[in-house]
């Protein structure tokens, strides 16, 4: 195994690569302002597997596979693959469900929030404020003793479950059996070539494992320990994506007419408060949960599976937003999610 000290500039490199590739993947065929969106892509995978029947968002996204397996490769190379579990798995599963619902009310995860802003979509501003609010509330509860408990060393088989599932998904993406669904129109029909998507995912996943990049953790650390390290990666990704979008002609500034977006600012804000709060509780944004899963962390894997189930709930029960706006069900689910998060935060304390 190779052992090397952590280099601070790995965060800058990770942010640069994520920002540039996040913009270029749109050029390669991904939906506009959605070169990378962990929540949206997991939602598409749920649809491809028949967990929901929203025909416009069904596709096995190789980027998700690449993020997790890229992390696994890095963890193995640097001796950091460790099977562990046991930190309130059922609570993490519930949090994963509500994080996905909040993301689909806004129409994007924290990564896509940054990339939407980098494409000129000003609807991302209330969403960023929502993430910051959720992280701030989460930090206050952490300071008052909130904890999901520690993880424990587990049998190595436990750590390999999520990488194994990703290998299975990759086989389905390559072989395309008849039972795997694929959108013929809408965002699900828009994608880069499999090899391009997978390669980008592997590279970002590898670098994110080394840098510990997290698009919510950066804000959390600013509030909690006044440490801007993780936040710097988020800023670099934003700047890199803005520059790349301008260079390729994909920058459109404004609120109206933005792709796969709506202008209901209150619910953009509240949906991402839910995401920021839930991500703070489980120790990282949806991208970070994939990276931790790749390192053998089954607790993070439970969050990922919760998000996939949350995507199915969101589309089967009319909770997900669309460019037409937020649904009444989505509003109710967001409020319920916030109440559930506060109950968890207040009662799960040492």
Q: DSSP labels for 277-316?
A: HHHHHHTS-HHHHHHHHHTTBHHHHHHHHHHHHHHHHHHH
Residue 2: what pLDDT? 39
Residue 350: what pLDDT? 82
- Report pLDDT digits (tens) over 144-186: 999 999 999 999 999 999 999 999 999 999 999 999 999 999 9
Q: What are phi and psi of 209, to 5 degrees?
A: -70, -40
Domains in the chain: boundaries: 9-347
* Residue 56 pLDDT > 60: yes
* Residue 54 pLDDT > 50: yes
Q: Token match 């690569």: residue? A: 17
* Residue 1 pLDDT > 80: no
Distance of alpha carbon 259 from alpha carbon 79, whole angstroms:
42
Calculate the dihedral angle through the C-alpha atoms of 140, 144, 148, 154, rounding to the nearest 10 degrees.
Answer: 110
Q: What mean pLDDT value characterizes the chain?
A: 96
254's CB contacts (< 8 A; 6+ apart) are: 120, 121, 122
Distance of alpha carbon 177 from alpha carbon 166, whole angstroms:
16
For residue 264, give the 3-state DSSP assignment. Answer: coil
Angle between helices 265-282 and 110-118 (to 10 degrees): 140
Residue 29: what pLDDT? 98
Distance of alpha carbon 117 from alpha carbon 123, whole angstroms:
8
Predicted model pTM: 0.95
Query: Residue 19's pLDDT band (boundaries 50, 70, 90)?
Result: very high
Structure token pair of residue 7 = 């280099």
- Report pLDDT digits (tens) over 3-14: 444 455 899 999
Contact criterion met (CB below 8 Å) for 216 and 285: yes
């Amino acid at each position: 195994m190779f052992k090397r000290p952590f280099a601070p500039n790995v965060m800058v490199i990770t942010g640069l690569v994520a920002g540039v590739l996040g913009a270029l993947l749109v050029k390669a065929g991904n939906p506009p302002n959605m070169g990378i969106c962990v929540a949206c892509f997991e939602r598409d995978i749920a649809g491809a597997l028949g967990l929901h029947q929203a025909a416009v968002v069904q596709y096995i996204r190789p980027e998700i596979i690449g993020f997790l397996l890229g992390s696994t490769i890095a963890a193995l190379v640097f001796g950091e693959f460790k099977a562990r579990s046991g930190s309130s798995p059922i609570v993490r599963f519930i949090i994963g469900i509500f994080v996905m619902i909040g993301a689909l009310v806004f129409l994007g995860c924290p990564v896509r929030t940054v990339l939407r802003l980098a494409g000129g979509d000003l609807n991302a501003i209330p969403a960023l404020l929502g993430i910051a609010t959720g992280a701030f509330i989460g930090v206050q509860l952490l300071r008052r003793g909130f904890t999901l408990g520690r993880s424990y060393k587990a049998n190595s088989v436990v750590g390999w479950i999520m990488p194994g599932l990703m290998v299975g998904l990759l086989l389905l993406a390559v072989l395309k059996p008849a039972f795997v669904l694929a959108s013929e129109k809408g965002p699900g029909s828009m994608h880069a070539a499999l090899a391009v998507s997978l390669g980008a995912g592997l590279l970002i996943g590898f670098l994110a494992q080394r840098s510990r990049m997290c698009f919510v953790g950066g804000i959390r650390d600013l509030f909690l320990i006044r440490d801007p390290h993780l936040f710097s990666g988020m800023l670099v990704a934003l700047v890199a994506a803005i520059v790349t979008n301008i260079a390729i002609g994909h920058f459109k500034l404004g609120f109206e007419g933005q792709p796969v977006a709506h202008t209901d600012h209150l619910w953009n804000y509240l949906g991402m408060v839910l995401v920021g709060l839930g991500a703070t509780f489980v120790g990282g944004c949806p991208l970070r949960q994939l990276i931790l899963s790749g390192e053998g962390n089954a607790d993070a894997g439970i969050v990922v599976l919760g998000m996939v189930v949350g995507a199915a709930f969101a589309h089967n029960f009319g909770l997900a937003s669309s460019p037409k706006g937020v649904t009444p069900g989505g509003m109710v689910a967001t409020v319920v999610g916030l109440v559930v998060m506060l109950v968890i935060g207040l009662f799960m304390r040492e």
